[in-house]
Amino acid sequence: MGQRESKKQGERGSLKRWWWFAVLILCIVAGVVVYAKTRGGGQVTAAEQPKGPSVRAVPVGATQVRRGDMSVYINGLGSVTPLNMVTVHSRVDGQLMEVLFKEGQIVKAGELLAQIDPRPFEVMLSQAEGQMAHDRALLENARIDLDRYKVLWQQDSIPKQQLDTQEALVRQYEGQIKTDQAQIDNAKLQLVYSRITSPITGKIGLRLVDPGNIIHAADVNGFVVITQLQPITVIFPIPEDNLPPVIAALNAGRRLPVEAFNRQQTEKLATGVLLTVDNQIDQTTGTVKLKATFDNADSKLFPNQFVNARLLIDEKKGVLIAPSAALQRGPQGAYVYVVKADHTASVRPVTVGEVQSGEVSIASGLSEGELVVTDGAERLREGIKVDVKGQGQGSGSAKG
């Protein structure tokens, strides 16, 4: 009885193990089938893809190739530099009696800025004039005596030596008169220097010396700085590789426009012209400095301000223009994806011209009006169906 029960239990355990083994085999077979189908679906080429409404097109953005004008610019980060900046010093020593300007004021060349105590120089002038009067009287008397001695010598009443001595005395007094005149002129000049005037037209900075202080001609800092704001210049570097077309344009006598933008390039501050090119290339950076001048009538440019300078060196007329986003690079060179009439993408090699601010000129490979993919090109391959979601066409001129 016990042996029969044990045998039945053994048969049931063996049947259960075979059942689990069969389930495992079925799972493995199902996994292989699914894997094989997945692998096979991934290897379908573009030519083998089924045609029909069941195929999902790749959404892309596209823009029409247009014909227009393209401005060619060279950009550089520059600094605003005044044409003239003067630290005003006193040319004489004395007490600063009066300051006649306000900080931040615009002054003109020759305008009176400050007054140094003139009394010491007035005294010097009076002394020099007094010495002149004294020596002039001596000269007049010596000349009268000389005339007398000439008459007496002709009458053989005095020796020739006495006449010669008197002539020498007259020349001595004449020399002293010249010295006295120089002393007078110097005293007058010191009196003029006691009135400090502006050497240039510009904007007054902060006052460095207050009235009542004794100032000296040898003071290092001066007492105010004046900066010319109109016109003003911008100095900016460009790569040495961009120098030849600039030199060629200047040698041809062309006036090259330069635009100054703020640091974020969101606002144009001023428009000027290129003034000159530096005489050497910086070997450390491989750049050369250019200087442009601006009228700055609205004073938007300020000394030492950083600006983005943009130099216009050429204007390409009637070229094919496409967005830079459409341009792709590969081992064989540049290419774009063109959307054909049947809504499929086709690879098209192109020859690239100028690249300016999001646009590129196409020398060959495209025609006007063709659609090029600008968004979603990374998901494309030759012959794949596309669904153009956004289509644009630029204006007739590229502003860069």
Residue 30 CA to residue 304 CA, distance in Å, equals 75
Q: Which of 193, 214, 236 is the last residue of a domain?
A: 193
AA identity, residue 257: P
* In a shared domain, residues 362 and 255: no
CATH number at residue 185: 1.10.287
What is residue 172's predicted lDDT score, i.e. its pLDDT? 95
pLDDT band at 41 (very low <50, low <70, confident <90, very high): very low
CATH number at residue 345: 2.40.420.20
Say whether pLDDT at 184 is over 70.
yes
Contacts of 32 (CB under 8 A, 6+ apart): none
AA identity, residue 323: P
Say whether pLDDT at 8 is over 80.
no
DSSP secondary structure, 205-254, as one string: ----S-TT-EE-TT-SS-SEEEE--SSEEEEEEEEGGGHHHHHHHHHTT-
* Mean pLDDT, residues 254-283 taken together: 93
Residue 360 near residue 327 (C-beta atoms within 8 A): yes
* In a shared domain, residues 93 and 206: yes
- What's the total number of domains in the chain? 4
* In a shared domain, residues 254 and 305: yes
* In a shared domain, residues 321 and 345: yes
What is residue 18's predicted lDDT score, i.e. its pLDDT? 61
Phi, psi angles (nearest 5°) of residue 298: -95, 5
Strands 66-82 and 232-239: antiparallel
Say whether pLDDT at 3 is over 90.
no
pLDDT band at 353 (very low <50, low <70, confident <90, very high): confident
* In a shared domain, residues 102 and 218: yes
Tokens 């004449």, residue located = 174
Q: Which of 298, 315, 332 is the last residue of a domain?
A: 315
Phi, psi angles (nearest 5°) of residue 50: -65, 140
Q: Is residue 237 part of a domain?
A: yes
* Mean pLDDT, residues 245-266 taken together: 91
* In a shared domain, residues 233 and 309: yes
What is residue 158's predicted lDDT score, i.e. its pLDDT? 87
* In a shared domain, residues 292 and 353: no
Mean residue pLDDT across the chain: 85
Q: Name which of 323, 305, 87 is nearest 217 in CA terms.
A: 87
What is residue 39's predicted lDDT score, i.e. its pLDDT? 45
* In a shared domain, residues 217 and 244: no
Q: Is residue 22 part of a domain?
A: no
* Mean pLDDT, residues 37-55 taken together: 44
What is residue 193's predicted lDDT score, i.e. its pLDDT? 95
Say whether pLDDT at 398 is over 50.
no
Q: Residue 84 carries which DSSP code?
A: -
CATH number at residue 232: 2.40.30.170
* In a shared domain, residues 100 and 219: yes
Q: Is residue 25 part of a domain?
A: no
* In a shared domain, residues 212 and 96: yes
pLDDT band at 19 (very low <50, low <70, confident <90, very high): low
Q: Is residue 32 part of a domain?
A: no
Residue 314 CA to residue 110 CA, distance in Å, equals 43
3-class DSSP state for residue 178?
Answer: helix
pTM value is 0.66
Q: Is residue 215 part of a domain?
A: yes
Q: Is residue 280 part of a domain?
A: yes
Q: Is residue 293 part of a domain?
A: yes
What is the domain range of residue 384? 58-71+317-391
* In a shared domain, residues 306 and 236: yes
Q: Which of 315, 333, 357 is the last residue of a domain?
A: 315
C-alpha angle with apex 337: 335 to 343, nearest 5 degrees? 160
Q: Which of 30-39, 134-143, 336-345, 385-394 has the lowest mean pLDDT?
A: 30-39
Q: Name which of 135, 255, 123, 140 is nearest 190 in CA terms.
A: 123
AA identity, residue 95: Q
* Mean pLDDT, residues 260-273 taken together: 92
Say whether pLDDT at 7 is over 70.
no
* Mean pLDDT, residues 335-353 taken together: 90
Under the phi-then-psi rule, with left for phi > 0, alpha for psi from -120 to 50, and beta for the rest, what region is 304? left
Say whether pLDDT at 392 is over 70.
no
pLDDT tens, position by position, 71-116: 888 999 999 999 999 999 999 999 999 999 999 999 999 999 999 9
**Burial class (CB within 10 angstroms; exposed 0-12, middle 13-18, buried 19+) of 279:** exposed
Contacts of 208 (CB under 8 A, 6+ apart): 221, 222, 223, 224, 225
* Mean pLDDT, residues 233-256 taken together: 92
Q: Is residue 31 part of a domain?
A: no
* In a shared domain, residues 311 and 352: no
CB neighbour burial string for 28-48, b if at least 16 within 10 angstroms, e if fewer: eeeeeeeeeeeeeeeeeeeee
